[in-house]
Structure 1
């Protein structure tokens, strides 16, 4: 359905390419897959049709530096016409279908009508052409996937399990807890009996941790913590940062085999002295 709507938009744009003198217009059937040379030529000719007093190169040279300058000049000229979307030289050097259609549709709406007075057949044809384009764009927009417009039939339920991960208590992790985490606790990838529940379980765990962190930060910012609690909070943050940095420094200079051995021991997969 999306491709059909895009084809309707292309059917409106392609005849205009022939009118403005694009050299490739006779051979093209769709805007999809537009290359840099085609997009630059089309956009430049449209800009010069809208503003004839502003000459812009409509062919890309072979030099990389010159190609960059042409694309940057073209992007600036379109922005001078009032285009407010995200537009830079990279949109012309490395085009994609969505950005290409957005720029060409905007430029097409800026093209002068054959009869600005609105009288005669040319003016009527231009108006009809604009109406057709807007109707096609509206249908294409509402046909795009949007989770808010998707019915319940498109959703799929997931199951989760509680994952056990190392937790640091307020008074620090004790010796026995650390020993349990290192020698006995199974990696999260091995905890679920069904592998398909691993990903949603990890997302659920991450969401819980994120909510708790946001609550702690909000309480800290709102001044709900006492001075002693704030100091403890900052100390915990610094301790975590320093411990992470220390682990990184410890691993530097080690061979890959030694690093993997340390990881295996931390998950209880290796034995002391091996």
Structure 2
């Protein structure tokens, strides 16, 4: 049974990442180094925050080994181990304590399904797990300066080249938003024939990992943003994802067009407004703007015409001046100093001219601002006067009609009264007709309103159901991916397993173990029943003996008063009863002693299995090593 338990423990420890040789088949064969490594690997799986701070290898110094043993004991107690544990458990181990500790740690390990669902899929799963284990192992080792490194540390802490994180944009032949099938043929041809590999695109080879990580993170963030936006706003719009994207693109394009149109308005303090206006007009046309936009942009004001005339005239003057200067150039025999003096004079003259032009531009700009303000004031006054003129025209019309009615006042009053009465009768008639029509319309309105509210509640309910279904679909897809990755990983591990051992052998072995357990259980039950029967028989015989002795004692005691021989027989009877009681007690004590002897023999076997002698020898060697270390440290202190 212990062999099967040890096999299960060793298999679980190997799954947790412990490097155990194939020759090791029992916990008895575990060395102190292997015990420490297995315990640390299990702690890292159970509680990474607790296990990553522990080293999985024994240090060379004895004091450091004692400290590591105490840290491991405290960590095991922190995860819930209730047994007796200390540094001696790891440095001077015995088989039962180590087995019970490993059984506790294996039970604390997470289940294989939950652990395997987080592992990557495909044939590279084992390689990725090995890489992750190696990275964890290297990250758990503390960094040491080069002068303090041992040969075991120089392999993992070599002073290799270090590079800064510098990412560059990459061109990849795929995209998260648009699939490769929807791309144009010329783009696909460019990808196939002309696009460089990813490793050759950055200017420096050291920037390849950083560029790949940056690109991957940007695509992941874009996907997550799209999913959150679609779940929060896209579903409420009741559109398909393509329609929602197209509408969002149209809105963004419209906003860009409005911003460009606002930026295309001419400003008095900018130079080259005509060129920028035409460029923006072309840009707006490329964005799909109206055809009239170009006319609006190319339409000039008095200031733009003046500016155009000024800047078209100035180059002509400048050309004439340059021509005069060219004609006035000295001959080749003239000195360079004279040429520099002439150039500086021309430069100063041009700078003065530029300053004058800038001053004129500022003055013109101020005049334009004043004219703009005055034009705005005049336009406001004009609108107010037009409104007041309209009101006056309406009052004049009313007064004119009243004046026309004054000559024939009585007839006009009668006519007005008749019109008023007719109007009142018509209003009453229309009101009665409206009441007839209003009642069914109000009922219809109430019915439609109730139907609309029901539909809204139904639509909101269906929308919530759609959201729930969407979440369930996403969860099902994630579970399907995890199960598929688990299936691929298990398939890969199954392919790597040896095919010479069949499942029937394991099944037969399990059935044999179950049969042995069942037989042992039956034997234990039989022994317990026999023990109960014997105890019942002993109890019945003891009671019968006590009753027989009481009756015999009573009968003999009655006759002992009369006859001397009977009195002697009564004494012999009492002595026989006492001797039999002592004999029974002696037999019981003998059985107790035999059980104690068997217990002591088992304890002796257990102590022999604890390797006490070898542990004592090891303790003596460690004690000598500690004394040597202390003497060496004391010598260093004296020298210092």
TM-score by length of structure 2 reads: 0.19
Q: Which has the larger radius of gyration?
A: 2
User: Quick check: which one's helix share is greater?
Assistant: 2
TM-score by length of structure 1 reads: 0.42
